[in-house]
Amino acid sequence: MKQVIISTSALNSYGTRVLTSGVDIEQYKRNPVLLWMHRRYDREDIPIGRIDDIHIDGDKIIGTPVFDMSDEFAAKIARKWEEGFLRMSSAGLTIIELSDAPEHLLPGQTRMTITKSKLDEVSIVDIGANDEALAIELYNTSGERITLASGTECPDLPLLPLSNPKVSPQNTDNMNEKIALALGLSQQATEAELIGTIEQLKLRAKQAEEMSQALVRGLVDEAVRLGKLTEAQRAHYTQIGLTMGAETLRITLADLQPARLPSELIHPSPMGGSAMPQQHAKLSDVPVDELDTLKRESPQEYARLYKAEFGIDLPK
């Protein structure tokens, strides 16, 4: 008959571990039932055999499966067991005490350690929950089966607190390595180096923001000086620059033209751009084709030039 490892203190797929030293097997010895896949309320809910010579050997709970060969289903499982098609057993345990003490935790553990438990049954299973060729099935003190999903809360088997001193450093180390690589540092960068680099980046970002704001204000000031914007428009265009960026503001302001005075419309510059008002000494200095425009749009200037030309006021 082949012996089988029923349980160890190794980390299992539940994210917890069962301390072998805390497993009570005495009650089980009085009724050492062997089930198939922990089925107690199913078609195969009767024992398919028993476990003989169950004992604790170091960190292992070991026993020998003995199958009920008079039962057709049990005999089928026995054949698969003997021929190596089934190789794993699983402990059905009732949780009695839990602990998140650092000395009971292993790297990668996500749930509290089961420090005290009671062995209720042993099952032959197809796929176990432990890398050491064994599995576990957990029950609460009411005998209800505990069903877990990764990362979900379970009152009967809580997740470890994030502040746990044994588990958190590992998670923090992994996170720090990712942050270090993102910052262009080596994976071995210390926490002080990470914080220092982040502070430098924050300072540079602040300086860049201040420079951008100063540039925006400078562009708006210049546009007001050139007559492209009025004082009433200053706040609006400043907000455009702060929101869209200094370069977008520069392009926007470049397309604006300064406001033109009426006299500039009368005497445009030869290049077609804006020009300062042309000053004439007397009426005869004004080009003939501009006289009517001058008289209509600048009557006071026309009157001044008329008096300079003829020595008398312009007739009413």
Q: Could you state, in chain order, the average pLDDT of each consecutive group of 10 residues for the chain (316 residues)?
A: 86 86 94 87 74 93 94 92 88 91 84 92 76 63 69 72 53 70 84 86 89 91 89 90 87 80 51 51 78 83 80 76
102 and 84 part of one domain:
yes
222 and 275 part of one domain:
no
Token pair belonging to 210:
């201040």
Are the C-beta atoms of 279 and 266 separated by less than 8 Å? Answer: no
Give the Cα separation of 71 and 15 in Å (integer). Answer: 36
Beta-strand runs (E) in the chain:
4-7, 23-24, 33-36, 49-57, 60-67, 88-99, 113-125, 134-139
315 domain-assigned: no
269: containing domain: 264-310
68 and 11 part of one domain:
yes
Predicted confidence at residue 70, as pLDDT, reads 93
107 domain-assigned: yes
Are the C-beta atoms of 81 and 123 separated by less than 8 Å? Answer: no
225 domain-assigned: yes
Predicted confidence at residue 284, as pLDDT, reads 77
Give residues with Cβ within 8 angstroms of 191, minimum separation 6. 176
Among 144, 167, 170, 148, smallest CA distance to 157 is for 148
Predicted confidence at residue 274, as pLDDT, reads 43
Question: What residue has token string 């929101």?
Answer: 243
237 and 188 part of one domain:
yes
DSSP letter, residue 18: B
Predicted confidence at residue 162, as pLDDT, reads 54
32 and 133 part of one domain:
yes
25 and 120 part of one domain:
yes
Predicted confidence at residue 261, as pLDDT, reads 55
248 and 268 part of one domain:
no
Give the Cα separation of 37 and 145 in Å (integer). Answer: 13
81 and 201 part of one domain:
no
123 domain-assigned: yes
pLDDT digits (tens, 9 = 90+) for 156-209: 788 776 555 554 454 556 667 888 888 888 888 887 888 888 889 999 988 888
pTM (2 d.p.): 0.49
Predicted confidence at residue 79, as pLDDT, reads 94
Predicted confidence at residue 183, as pLDDT, reads 86
pLDDT digits (tens, 9 = 90+) for 231-263: 999 999 999 888 888 888 888 888 888 765 555
Are the C-beta atoms of 216 and 249 separated by less than 8 Å? Answer: yes
Cα separation values, 57 from 4, 62, 130, Å? 12, 7, 18
Q: What is the DSSP string of 108-148?
A: T--B-EEEEEEEEEEEEESS-SBTTTEEEEEE-TTSPBP--
| Domain-terminating residue out of 76, 105, 139 | 139
51 and 134 part of one domain:
yes
Give the Cα separation of 40 and 84 in Å (integer). Answer: 25
161 domain-assigned: no
Predicted confidence at residue 269, as pLDDT, reads 47
| Domain-terminating residue out of 84, 118, 139 | 139
Number of structural domains (the chain) is 3
63 and 25 part of one domain:
yes
25 and 124 part of one domain:
yes
Give the Cα separation of 256 and 247 in Å (integer). Answer: 15
